[in-house]
Amino acid sequence: IALSPNKKFIAIAESGEHPQIQIVDTSTRKRRKVLTVTDLGSDRFVAMSFSADGRHLATQGGAPQWNLLYWNWERSKPLAQVQVTRDQALQASRETGHLVTQVSINPRDPLHIIVSGNGLFRFYRFVDGLLKHIPGGLGKAHTQNFTTHAWITEERIVVATESADLLLVEEGEFRCPLPAAPADNHSILSIVPTSRGFICGGEMGII
């Protein structure tokens, strides 16, 4: 399930032989659109994110193909689609179904997308009708299991790891680990930006 930042729409993904996404208007509680694709390469969607204005939607298909799709959902067809990795080093994660855990759209730039998960943190941009992988992120030096991430500003992203580390990415590049992790050895599962920073939630109910 994904809620648009303007609170106007909810996306509900359904798994099965023909996976689909229903877009529901929160004010009328009526279904606005049903999104389907014939070549998802999976029986489910594992992550979704709306753009800030609620017009665009990024959806991540699951194993075995791990296809990322970018929609103007009112048109009912994806604008672009790309397989998020062909790296053989990630083959085990691809096959076991634990590669991607989150997708998000830049709150100020609806063409800029992040995909993160087990050993994966990548930027994509919708350009000339294609989703293109763009340089940046955490690089090969950081191949941990990234449990969640959040855009704190248009240029700053905080990324959490399974070992409870917090990493700062700024202007597309890794800057530094944050000095005080909120939960010793307890995975951080959620990051919510606020006007003065961000809030983390993790295992054992730690905030």
pLDDT in tens, 137-186: 776 656 788 999 999 998 999 999 888 889 999 988 888 888 866 556 67
Residue 8 near residue 27 (C-beta atoms within 8 A): yes
* Structure confidence at residue 68 (pLDDT): 97
How far apart CA 133 and CA 39 sit, in angstroms, is 20
Residue 80 near residue 70 (C-beta atoms within 8 A): yes
* Structure confidence at residue 89 (pLDDT): 46
* Structure confidence at residue 140 (pLDDT): 62
* Structure confidence at residue 2 (pLDDT): 96
Phi–psi pair at 92, nearest 5 degrees: -60, -45
pLDDT in tens, 26-61: 999 999 999 999 899 999 999 999 999 999 999 999
pLDDT in tens, 62-91: 999 999 999 999 999 999 999 997 554 455
